[in-house]
Structure 1
Amino acid sequence: MKLTETVQTADWKAEKHVPVLHVEKADGLLKIKAQVGEEIEHPNTLEHHIAWIKVFFKPEGSKFPIEVGSYNFSAHGEEEIFSKPMVEVEIKTEKSGEVYALSYCNIHGLWENSVEA
């Protein structure tokens, strides 16, 4: 089995593991927000958490995506205080393309989403 065959996707409004993407273009910048659990909150506890989120941009006409952000959540909190798996990145580009986010849940594996930018 190939690793790519293990990546899951779904409608983020019904599945809490899918990274939700918000993209805004302004003044030569692409502002990207990726969050796991926007509509249905993901339990980010020590036992069940999002370990990382990676963000990619594939410019129109390009063969491969470019990694533009890699975020590890090595601390999740304790007692009643837990972090939320959300990241933001800005990239300089005038190009259109597609934004991808890949996230990893320590229990439920790899999840991805993409949007046109």
Structure 2
Amino acid sequence: MEKMAMYKCDTCKGVVEVVTPVCDEALKGFSRLEEKTEDATTEKHVPYIEEHEDGYVVKVGKEVEHPMTEEHYIQFIELLIDDNRLYRAYLKPGDKPMACFTVSKGEKVAAREYCNIHGLWKDR
């Protein structure tokens, strides 16, 4: 299995991320989460990255912030730099749908986020 792929347990709905390649047997009972990049709804899910002097800010919802209610919220935001540095911020209901990462800059920067209802999203 591909490194950094995410899976959701078919029973408890927990999410796991593959850190090193594993056999198919290890993921029985899990469904792979596909990274979505197009948002056609009024609630915005695609993360976007702002570069700052001391790192990056990742926000969810460019025109309209993603809801952060008990029923519907962003559980975490990830920032990947140069395919070898991964940073993650966990969020909870009531938080702003954003994460600040004070890190060294990179050449290649990507972001993902996980919505408890609508799944995994990646920046374009």
Deviation at 1:84, TM superposition (A): 1.2
* C-alpha separation in 2, matches of 1:21 and 1:87: 10
Taking the TM superposition and a 5 Å limit, the aligned residue runs for 1:45-60 are 45-58=69-82
After superposition, the Cα gap between the structure-2 partners of 1:66 and 1:88, relative to the gap in structure 1 and judged at 3 Å, is same
Aligned to 2:36: 8
Q: Does 1:113 align with 2:85?
A: no
The list of structure 1 runs, each at least 4 consecutive aligned residues, that deviate by more than 3 angstroms after superposition, is 2-5
Question: Which of 54, 58, 66 is 2:85 aligned to?
Answer: 66
- Between 1 and 2, higher relative CO (CA 8 Å, sep ≥ 6) is seen in 1
Deviation at 1:15, TM superposition (A): 6.2
Deviation at 1:42, TM superposition (A): 1.2
Q: Relative to total residues, which structure has the larger strand share, 1 or 2?
A: 1
After superposition, the Cα gap between the structure-2 partners of 1:23 and 1:85, relative to the gap in structure 1 and judged at 3 Å, is same
Aligned to 1:43: 67
List alignment gaps of at least 5 residues for structure 1: 59-63, 77-81
SS in 2 for 1:97: coil
Deviation at 1:92, TM superposition (A): 2.6
Residue-by-residue CA offset, 1:18-40 (whole Å, 9 max, x unaligned): 1111113x5xx5x2010112312
Percentage identity across paired residues of the two chains = 33
Aligned to 2:111: 101
* C-alpha separation in 2, matches of 1:5 and 1:105: 12
Superposition TM-score, scaled by structure 1 size: 0.67
* C-alpha separation in 2, matches of 1:22 and 1:97: 14
Contact 2:39/2:45 (8 A) holds in 1: no
Count the aligned residue pairs: 94
The RMSD of aligned alpha carbons is: 2.5
Deviation at 1:5, TM superposition (A): 6.3
List alignment gaps of at least 5 residues for structure 2: 7-31
Deviation at 1:49, TM superposition (A): 0.5
Superposition TM-score, scaled by structure 2 size: 0.64
